[in-house]
């Protein structure tokens, strides 16, 4: 197992900023994780994954964009109350699939803005319409069955639709219609979906949301399973300074710059461990 995999987890706008800051900081230290043989993106990580594999912008350019003042209307709200509600549903679900189905019903019943608006925002953010030449997997959950899928360039699904589906937070954004099904956030199944990196020898997991709950495995738990299967794994979750930078609403665009700076600072903590993994 010699191939490398980069796993980018979900975590809202602050998660995007933190992941980009971390990746940019590591690149400055001479460690470019974006050249991984496989990139797995979930929710916020799907946006970052699509951007870093497109080759349209350098990590430094992406980082500078995170520092820019937010434009447009205020962001959506996903604070502690929503997270607590999701956790309560998870704790009372028998497995990740049943939890996904329950969250799907919640998403379908919620009153949210038009799906076309969110798709347009994602399209502008990505700036690229085509799947990259390198392998990129984007996770989403079927709102009817609760089952997870991983879209890629063989799925016959437009990249912007796959990413919009992966970012469709239940109760915040509407489910995304693709091929007769309606899809919700891939983070419903797992905040990182690192299990999809099974079979890869060197895996780095960058997970803005560190916790699991009930049947939902935490990123570190998934990393430990990969390690037992023979992979060399490093799981990075936010340190205290990063969590403080995120604030109480991960969808608040005014917190994005602070999260990016926190990610860049935190990269120095992990650089040598990752260098050993990535350069073997």
Among all residues, which ones are annotated catalytic? 43, 185
* Three-state DSSP class for residue 138: strand
Lookup: tokens for 55: 């080759």
Among candidate residues 155, 43, 175, the one with its CA nearest the CA of residue 107: 175
Helices (H), 110-239: 115-126, 159-166, 219-228
Phi, psi of 129 (to 5 degrees): -95, -20
Half-sphere exposure of 243 (CA within 13 A, CB side): 10
Angstrom distance (rounded) from CA 215 to CA 95: 5
Give, in order, the Cα–Cα distances in Å from 218 to each of 1, 189, 214, 237.
24, 11, 10, 11
Among candidate residues 25, 29, 57, 176, the one with its CA nearest the CA of residue 126: 57
Angstrom distance (rounded) from CA 31 to CA 150: 27
Query: Judging by DSSP bridges, how do beta strands 181-185 and 135-142 pair with one another?
Result: antiparallel
Phi, psi of 136 (to 5 degrees): -130, 130
Lookup: tokens for 105: 């019903």
């Amino acid at each position: 197992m010699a191939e490398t995999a980069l796993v980018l987890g979900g975590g809202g706008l602050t998660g995007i900023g933190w992941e980009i800051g971390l990746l940019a900081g590591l690149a400055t230290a001479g460690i470019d994780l974006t050249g991984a043989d496989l990139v797995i993106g979930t929710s916020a990580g799907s946006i970052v994954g699509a951007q870093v594999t497109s080759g349209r912008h350098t990590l430094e350019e992406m980082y500078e964009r995170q520092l820019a003042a937010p434009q447009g209307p205020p962001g959506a709200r996903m604070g502690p109350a929503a997270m607590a509600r999701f956790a309560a549903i998870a704790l009372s679900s028998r497995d990740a699939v049943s939890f996904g189905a329950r969250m799907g019903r919640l998403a379908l019943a919620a009153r949210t803005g038009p799906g076309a608006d969110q798709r347009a925002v994602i399209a502008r953010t990505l700036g690229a319409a085509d799947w990259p030449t390198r392998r990129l997997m984007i996770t989403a959950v079927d709102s009817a069955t609760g089952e997870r899928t991983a879209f890629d360039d063989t799925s016959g699904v437009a990249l912007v639709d796959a990413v919009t589906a992966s970012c469709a937070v239940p109760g915040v954004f509407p489910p995304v219609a693709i091929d007769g099904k309606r899809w919700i956030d891939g983070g419903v199944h797992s905040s990182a979906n690192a299990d999809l990196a099974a079979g890869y020898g060197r895996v780095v997991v960058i997970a803005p949301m560190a916790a699991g709950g009930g049947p939902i495995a935490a990123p570190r738990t998934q990393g430990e399973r990969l390690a037992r299967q023979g992979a060399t794994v490093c799981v990075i979750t936010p340190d205290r300074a990063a969590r403080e930078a995120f604030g109480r609403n991960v969808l608040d665009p005014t917190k994005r710059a602070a999260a990016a700076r926190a990610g860049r600072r935190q990269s120095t903590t992990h650089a040598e461990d990752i260098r050993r993994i990535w350069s073997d």
